[in-house]
Amino acid sequence: MAALEALREFIVEAKSKTYVGGGGQRPSSRPGSHDIGYERDSWRYLDSYFGGTDFAGQETVWQNDEPHWAMNYFGRIIRPDLINGEKAGVVIRAALQAMYRDKRHFLGGTEFRHAHGYYIDNSRGDTSHFSGHEVIFVDGEEAYELDYRGGLIRR
């Protein structure tokens, strides 16, 4: 298996078992951070973020203790009158769970209907370098947004 394919598969596995799967809680690595992580064989994943309804974070993957890949993100509730952080989280987890299961990938091109909102994730690029934007619409109005960007770390 090609190295990039192995990395992509590990990222999907780690994301499925942490935020989406509700597991992997870790002690805070920085004051005020929320950290979730996953390890398998020589691979290690950490998602470390700050905030709640408005939040910023970074996901990093190491192989043999060398940083290999990272993604930064910032998300926020735009319309608290239409959706709150808890409902947005329910929509996002359901949409990502379906994307990971059906596509076995972590980048956009996904639309998902849920009782709490309509989720859309669009991105460009691939595992090596990408950027994207996810939104949740409620009653036709954009109520939540998140921007992300990342790729391979090279020396």
pLDDT digits (tens, 9 = 90+) for 79-114: 999 999 999 999 999 999 999 988 888 888 899 999
Q: Please report, for residues 7, 39, 96, 105, 117, the alpha-carbon distance to residue 126 in angstroms, rounded to integers and kept in the order given.
A: 12, 23, 17, 10, 27
- Alpha-carbon distance of 74 to 11, in angstroms, equals 19
- Please report the pLDDT score of residue 5 as a whole number: 93
Distance CA 118, CA 84 (A): 14
The structure's pTM equals 0.93
HSE of 142, CA atoms in CB hemisphere, 13 A? 10
The domain locations on the chain are 3-152
